[in-house]
Each structure stands twice: as structure tokens, then as C-alpha cells.
Structure 1
Amino acid sequence: MPWKNGGGVTVEIAISPENASVDNFDWRISTATVANDGPFSVFNGIDRTLSVLEGNGIVLDVEGVETTLTRETAPFAFAADASSVARLIDGTITDLNVMTRRGRFTHQVERIAIDDSRIVASNRGAMLIFCAEGNFDLKSDSGIAQMGLHDCLVMSGEAQFSLELIGKGIAYKVLIMDINVENQ
């Protein structure tokens, strides 16, 4: 789908509620290809975290403060309604975007290097595991799922749970929490 500002294309991975649009979602996960320098779309009342999946990286200027993002850097959180301009370091990138509606939901994004086995735990709410590099198995009480490049598994529930990631690769763990639910 086209970017909100018309400057590129995004691939939506998950959105809540299910029938929401880019104007009224509670939370949204997507990837985007950035081929040119320029402004990011403005999303009023939204908090955003950006991670570089492919390419050499970008310099993101958020209200005059520059941050360099590459495949190796930690995910970068910022207000999506702040003035933000991207400058590519050396060519096109693909990024992972996580966005939540401020005052209703919050999120955490963690880059995880998997070399053999890693345990990841959730809070109450939604947890997404996104495969950024390599291949790995995702083992839970209900079975095993094989994850390949850009596969994403979305899980949610009222209880906390844990998963084992087995193999080699890079994953992003995304936690989405409803701030109105007590004792997350």
C-alpha cells in the first residue's frame, strides 16, 4: 500500500483492530522500502519504533536530532507526529515499523541474535516474532513453527507465555501492551 505521505510503499504485516486503516489503528506492524531521502509520514498521536532490516542504513533527523540506524543498531523509538526526515547512507533500505496509539497502547521492540537457542517471554497482550535473517524454529507448548525470511508469527492472550527460538538468525520480538489493562 502507498505511504500515507505518498513517498513510497509499505507492506502491512499486522494491524489492530483488524479492519482499521492507517488513520484509526490501535497498533500496526509493517515493512517499508525507502529508496529516496525525504520526510517520514506524520501519524498524529502515534509512537513509532524503526529498525533497519536490509541496506546500509539511514540517518534519521527527528526534530533536529540525528540518529544513525543500521542493521546492527538497536531499534529506535520516536514520536510519529514529530517532524522526521530520512537520509539514506548508501542506497535503498527496508525497515520494520512498529506503531501504537499513544495513551492506549505501548510497545517494545527487541533485536535478537539467535545462535543455537534463545528463550523469549511475553507480557499479557500481543507478541510478534519477525524473522529478519536466517531460519529458525519457534517452539511453544502447542508445537513448532518454522520461520524463514520475513515470516512473522503473531500471538496474543491474557496470560504470559514463553517461546524457544532454535537455529541461526536475527529476529525482532515486538510486545504490544494495552495500557488500560492492569498487571501486565
Structure 2
Amino acid sequence: MRILRAADYRVMPWKNGGGTTTEIAVSPDGAGLDEFDWRVSMARVEGSGPFSTFAGIDRTLSVLEGEGIVLDIAGRPAARLTPASQPFSFPADQPTSAALIAGPITDLNVMTRRGRTLHSVERLAISRPVEIATQAGSTLILCHKGEAVFHEAGSIRLGPLDTLLLGPDAPALRVEPARDTTLFVVRVTIAA
């Protein structure tokens, strides 16, 4: 179990050079863009345009801040994502472009290498304690808004954009919101 604080995340340029991304976690540790098995990051998108292409990668996108974004995948309208939308999954090796709805956004981006790892992303808005199930692989719990407390794990407290990274042997955890809280739960498993 590791606590990843927002202040310690690594900022790096986009693959296409059009902006920057804030890397929350990557496996294996320190892996580059062509070497990771899985990667979780946030990006500030300032303008409409093409996405970077990642061969053999599956991707899930969620809007954290801003009005939203409209995705066009392989030349066809595919999704309109807003902060209220469910996370949207698509192949990162398909030509993808995005149009901002009304100004810049910040997104959460989860990528896994096809054939090696699989992932799921769940958005949870909580106002009372809930139990979060873990998986055989890695589970990341990102506190988007509010504050989350994990008493069973030594009273760990996550503030906005902090993340708890759990390994494969982690038990289910009970989370208590200090106030209305939004979490993103990312589960990564080894592909069969």
C-alpha cells in the first residue's frame, strides 16, 4: 500500500508535444511511454485537436474539471464527456480527436497495454461510508473532490487528487468521506 500525494506527481510533456500530463502512477515504476504495462495520469487540455496515438494500448478517459469534451474516433463522433459522464473506454491506437465544449478541461487518463493488462474505472460519489472491493492486480483510489479517510489502513487521509495505491493482496477497504466526496477507483489486472 502506497500513498501518492498530488504534490509529488511527475509532470511531463504529451507524446505529441501539445501539452503536459501529470503522471499519478505507472507500472513498472519509472517506465516510459513505450514501456509501461499500465499508466494513470491527468492532463490539462487547453484546446481542441488530435490525441496522441499509442499502439496496442486501451484507454479510459474521464473529465475531472471543465465543461467537457467531444471525442471523434476513427472519423466518427464517439462520445460527449462531461464531469457527470461515466468513464469512457476506447482503443488508443485509433485516430482520435477532441473538441472542447466550452473552454479547457482536466481529464483522468488510464491506459493499459493490450494483451498484458486490463483495467476498469469507476466514479463514486459518496456521502456516507462505503466498502471498496480490490482486485487481484492493482487498485488505485483517487480522491477527486472532498476528503477520504481509511481507518482500517491506519487512518490514511486523502485530500483532493491524492491517490491510494493498493497491491494484489490488499483486502477490501472501508472509506469514510469527511464531507461529500468523489472518488475514482481504477482496477488493473493481468490479462488472461
Q: Which TM bucket (shorter chain)?
A: over 0.9
Q: Secondary structure at the match of 2:52?
A: coil
**In the alignment, which residue of structure 1 is the partner of 2:93?**
81
The one of 11, 14, 22 equivalent to 1:11 is 22
Q: For 1:2-25, what per-residue CA distance to the aligned partner results, in whole angstroms no more than 9, with x for missing partners? A: 100111100001000112101111
**In the alignment, which residue of structure 1 is the partner of 2:3?**
none
On the 8 A contact 1:121/1:160 being kept in 2, the answer is: no
Partner Cα distance (2:37, 2:142) in 1: 19
The one of 41, 54, 60 equivalent to 1:30 is 41
**In the alignment, which residue of structure 1 is the partner of 2:185?**
173
The total of aligned residue pairs comes to: 178
**In the alignment, which residue of structure 2 is the partner of 1:147?**
158
* Equivalences for residues 26-105 of structure 1 within 5 A: 26-63=37-74, 64-105=76-117
Partner Cα distance (2:100, 2:120) in 1: 25
Q: Secondary structure at the match of 2:71?
A: strand
Q: Secondary structure at the match of 2:13?
A: coil
Partner Cα distance (1:70, 1:83) in 2: 21
Greater alpha carbon shift after TM alignment, 130-139 vs 91-100: 130-139
Q: For 1:29-61, what per-residue CA distance to the aligned partner results, in whole angstroms no more than 9, with x for missing partners? A: 000000000001000000000000000000011
- Normalized against structure 2, the TM-score is what? 0.90
Q: Give how far 1:98 is off.
A: 0.4
Partner Cα distance (1:95, 1:139) in 2: 29
- Normalized against structure 1, the TM-score is what? 0.93
Q: For 1:108-159, what per-residue CA distance to the aligned partner results, in whole angstroms no more than 9, with x for missing partners? A: 000001111111101111000001111121233x3221111100111112x3
Amino acid at match of 2:109: N
Give runs of ≥4 in structure 1 deviating > 6 Å.
none
- The answer on 1:128 being equivalent to 2:128 is no
Q: Give how far 1:160 is off.
A: 5.5
Query: 5+ residue gaps in structure 1?
Result: none
On the 8 A contact 1:127/1:155 being kept in 2, the answer is: yes
- The answer on 1:164 being equivalent to 2:174 is yes
Amino acid at match of 2:114: R
Query: 5+ residue gaps in structure 2?
Result: 1-11
Q: Give how far 1:66 is off.
A: 2.7
